[in-house]
A = this chain, B = another copy of it.
Amino acid sequence: MASLLEGQARPIRLADIAKAAGVSHGTASNVFSRPEIVRAEVRERVKAVAEQMGYAGPDPKGRLLRAGKVNAIGVATTEPLSYFFDDPFARVMMAGISQACDATGAGIALVSAANQEKLAWNIQSALVDGFVLFCIEGGSRLVDLTRERRLPFVALELGFQDETVSAIGVDNVAGARLAARHLAELGHRRFAVLSLGFADNPTGFATPEAVRSAVYTGTRDRLAGYFEELSRFGIDTAKIPVYETENEDKSTRAGLEAIFAKEEPPTAILAMSDRMALIAIDWLKARGLNVPGDVSIVGFDGVPDGALSTPPLTTIAQPIIEIGRRAARMILDHDGAVRRETMGVEFIVRGSTGPAPRG
Binding site for B on A (CB under 8 A): 11, 54, 56-57, 60-65, 68, 70-72, 80-82, 84-86, 91-92, 94-95, 98-99, 101-102, 105, 107-114, 118, 121-122, 124-127, 148-151
Contact = CB atoms under 8 A, between A and B. Distances in A.
- 4 closest A-B pairs (Cβ-Cβ)? A81-B98, A56-B150, A82-B98, A85-B91
25 contacts: A56-B150, A56-B151, A57-B148, A60-B126, A61-B64, A61-B68, A61-B70, A64-B65, A65-B65, A80-B102, A81-B101, A81-B108, A82-B94, A82-B98, A82-B99, A82-B102, A84-B85, A84-B98, A85-B95, A102-B112, A102-B114, A105-B118, A107-B109, A108-B110, A127-B127
Given A82-B95, A82-B102, 20 more contacts: A54-B150, A56-B148, A56-B150, A60-B127, A61-B64, A61-B65, A62-B65, A64-B64, A64-B127, A70-B127, A84-B85, A84-B98, A85-B91, A85-B92, A102-B112, A105-B118, A107-B110, A107-B111, A107-B126, A127-B127
A339 to B, nearest CB: 18
Nearest to A98: B81
Contacts of A94: 82, 84-85
Contacts of A65: 61-62, 64-65
Nearest to A68: B61
A111 B62 CA distance: 19
Contacts of A95: 82, 85-86
A149 B61 contact: no
Nearest to A64: B61
A98 to B, nearest CB: 4
Nearest to A2: B150
A92 B284 CA distance: 28
Contacts of A101: 81
A56 B108 CA distance: 22
A82 to B, nearest CB: 4
A6 to B, nearest CB: 9
Contacts of A107: 109-111, 122, 126
B81 A125 contact: no
Nearest to A96: B82
Contacts of A112: 102
A50 to B, nearest CB: 11
A40 to B, nearest CB: 21
A149 B98 contact: no
A7 to B, nearest CB: 10
A81 to B, nearest CB: 4
Contacts of A150: 11, 54, 56
A113 B86 CA distance: 23
A107 B60 CA distance: 17
Contact of A102 (B91, B113, B126): B113
A126 B64 CA distance: 10
